[in-house]
Structure 1
């Protein structure tokens, strides 16, 4: 899987891949990351990528020419490249999207800055638009990283233990059940006794019940969507 980041600020993204699971995946060539800077494609002598908004309005906008050229270049190199724009208007990014997109060969994340991107760029090149939450950030780099991380961990070989994917939050529309480690008692706090008895059928039943209760408490919106009689 190849990830290409179209961004003015490569250094905001590159360090994330210098440690832990994604670094190992890069070293093993399971994933590959590339960067394209729109400023390298500008045709004006000052290498500007921003301009005033048509019709007025506060703030500058990333204008068409550099973005059209960089995205055309990417598509010429790989016509199958799947171009994603993280924007507030996008649909909420969910686990089901991360799993689906992990089957792609090449995903391109386009990070906006300033007051955003000229809408014509999005209309012409956008394969999908996603939002990671109902709030505004200073740029698209963080949402791009969030989505890249979520997608990457669903790619075969990225996680050491593939079984861990099976019990994660949102896999069945519920939050993952609480987890407990050692010791069995810390200060006055103990692990639920059923976890210590070795009966895996009962543990599985208990985990499912705890998953339902956790979802009901923390994410009633998800709980209602599941229509669980409880």
Structure 2
């Protein structure tokens, strides 16, 4: 089986104050692939560090994980686009395994299923919350997923055609829900989950956790779209 063409992949990296993690993350981007760092209002020099390490930097002033991800998707030019957190909890060097599933036609959306590498990497409350969310997604879509992690791969134009509207923490969930509505095949690939650098911007505070819950509720309340299979 041949590897996917390196020139065909852009990696979108939403970034908010990740100066400590960026050098490691960018060094792990597969050779020939392009890193698209979306600076979401960093105050620690993240954008400059990203440029120094060869990344393409775009800016999104609207604060929100979904806003940063979607701006990166729009800025991408490759046929296949990957998403990955910028906090060193996930290794971009493992993305070819996800892209391969898309390239050979086994799936239209591939998710990295996080597997913690040690105790404390993924707190119990976060794992339980993810499990509950996965069950809710199964009820809404029929997809039997075990994780809804941020590492993923799909074709750019197909993603844009999903018409995603969430611009906060519900964006990754909306991508899965709308993909299921469109009849996409969604697969998971196991990836190691590493200790992150710094505190989570979403679930690291009570305010962030509450906002995430509200965003998730709004996405799951979306009415299903007519099932259609409009991907290559």
- TM-score of the alignment, normalized to the shorter chain, above 0.5: no
TM-score, normalised via structure 1 length? 0.28
Structure possessing the higher relative contact order (Cα contacts under 8 Å, 6 or more residues apart): 2
